[in-house]
Structure 1
Amino acid sequence: MSEKIKTLIKRLAPLLDENSDVFHELETFFSTEGKIDIHLGDLGKFLKNNRTYQVVRIKGNSYKDCVYELVDNHPELMEAIGMLRYYKAPAGSIKWEDVEAAEIAIGNELTVNAYGWEPDAWTIFESDGSEHGLVAIVALDSLL
Structure 2
Amino acid sequence: MAEEIKSLIKKLSPLLEEDSEVFRELVTFFSGTAKISMHRDDLCKFLQDNRTFEVVRVSGKSYKDCVYELVDNYPEMMDAIGMLRYYKAPTGNIKWEEVEAAEIAMGNELTMNAYGWAPDAWTIFESGESEHSLVAIVALDSLL
TM-score, normalization by structure 1: 0.99
Distance in 2 between residues matched to 1:87 and 1:76, nearest whole Å: 20
For the pair 1:78 / 2:78, whether they are aligned, the reply is yes
For the pair 1:132 / 2:132, whether they are aligned, the reply is yes
Structure 1 runs of 4+ aligned residues shifted over 3 Å read none
| 2:24 counterpart residue number | 24
Alignment of 1:1-144 (within 5 A): 1-144=1-144
Contact 2:42 2:119 in 1 (8 A): yes
Equivalent residue pairs, number: 144
Post-superposition Cα deviations, 1:12-62, rounded to whole Å, max 9, x if no partner, equal 000001000000000000001111121000000000000000000011100
Distance in 1 between residues matched to 2:86 and 2:122, nearest whole Å: 5
The Cα of 1:9 is off from its aligned counterpart by: 0.3
Contact 2:59 2:132 in 1 (8 A): yes
Distance in 2 between residues matched to 1:104 and 1:5, nearest whole Å: 29
Distance in 2 between residues matched to 1:37 and 1:8, nearest whole Å: 16
Distance in 1 between residues matched to 2:113 and 2:30, nearest whole Å: 23
Structure 1 spans left out of the alignment, 5+ residues: none
Contact 2:30 2:37 in 1 (8 A): no
Give the root-mean-square deviation of aligned CA atoms.
0.4
Structure 2 spans left out of the alignment, 5+ residues: none
Q: Secondary structure at the match of 2:49?
A: coil
Among the aligned pairs, what percent are the same residue?
74
Distance in 2 between residues matched to 1:23 and 1:61, nearest whole Å: 28
Q: Secondary structure at the match of 1:139?
A: strand
Post-superposition Cα deviations, 1:67-101, rounded to whole Å, max 9, x if no partner, equal 00000000001000000000000000000000000
Q: Secondary structure at the match of 1:4?
A: helix
